Amino acid sequence: MASVVPTAMVGGSFDPVHLGHLHLVHTVLNATNYRRFVFVPVAQNNFKPQAQLASAKDRIAMLRLSFKAYRRLYPDDPPCELLLDECELHRGGVSYTYDTVKHLYLQYSIKGRLGLVMGDDLLPDLSKWHEFESLKELVSFVVIRRDATATVFKDYFVDLSYVDNAVFDDSSSKIRAACARLGEDEPLGDDIRSLMTKEVADYVQQNKLYRS
């Protein structure tokens, strides 16, 4: 039987996964008792519905490469599991977090409540999320800093904690924009490579991703 582990969900497009994503795990890992992180790539971004994402195959491959690089980047971190769950990709379209949370409880042996890692920029509309009243009974919201002007969420029945993390720019957008300016066979510059693990940067280069 799988061990019962404090588990957190990390959702997103991961288009592509970058060093900021891994540093986020490093920060949450060292600030909390979560020891399993389940990455759930979206099929369609609910907050950016017009965004054209790289293929699921490519985003999955890059996530797996980044997982392998994590221990090299953070050798002194406590032991942890980095896992990939493709449920939203299989579901297709826009997925509701509530449905994904229920799926994760069925798939994994979770100690305590599932942690739901989210940016503070999403707090203003949190109470409008699908099935929010039921969702807040199932998860602990782990809030990371993205917006210096974000307000504190005022619902005292929500299990919510704030993580004091370094704030990263939207590196995924920077990577995509920089790649779009390159010629088909032009190599990635060091400034763009520095935003990703070597393995992911090599994958982006070899597969000519994000070229216009």
- For residue range 25-54, list pLDDT tens digits in order: 999 999 999 999 999 999 987 666 556 789
Task: Point out the least confidently predicted range of 43-52, 93-102, 129-138.
Answer: 43-52
* pLDDT for residue 121: 86
* pLDDT for residue 167: 73
Q: Where residue 4 falls among pLDDT bands split at 50, 70, 90?
A: very high
How far is Cα 142 from Cα 187, in angstroms, rounded to an integer?
38
**In the predicted model, what is the mean pLDDT of residues 6-29?**
96
The fourth-level CATH superfamily of domain 7-168 is HUPs (3.40.50.620)
How far is Cα 6 from Cα 182, in angstroms, rounded to an integer?
43
**Tens-place pLDDT, residues 164-198:** 877 766 789 999 999 999 998 899 999 999 999 99
How far is Cα 190 from Cα 40, in angstroms, rounded to an integer?
29
**Tens-place pLDDT, residues 55-88:** 999 999 999 999 999 999 999 999 999 999 999 9
Q: Where residue 145 falls among pLDDT bands split at 50, 70, 90?
A: confident
How far is Cα 89 from Cα 190, in angstroms, rounded to an integer?
31
Q: Which two tokens stand for residue 129?
A: 């999320």
How far is Cα 71 from Cα 111, in angstroms, rounded to an integer?
23
How far is Cα 18 from Cα 63, in angstroms, rounded to an integer?
9
Query: With pLDDT > 70 as the criterion, what percentage of the chain qualifies?
Result: 92
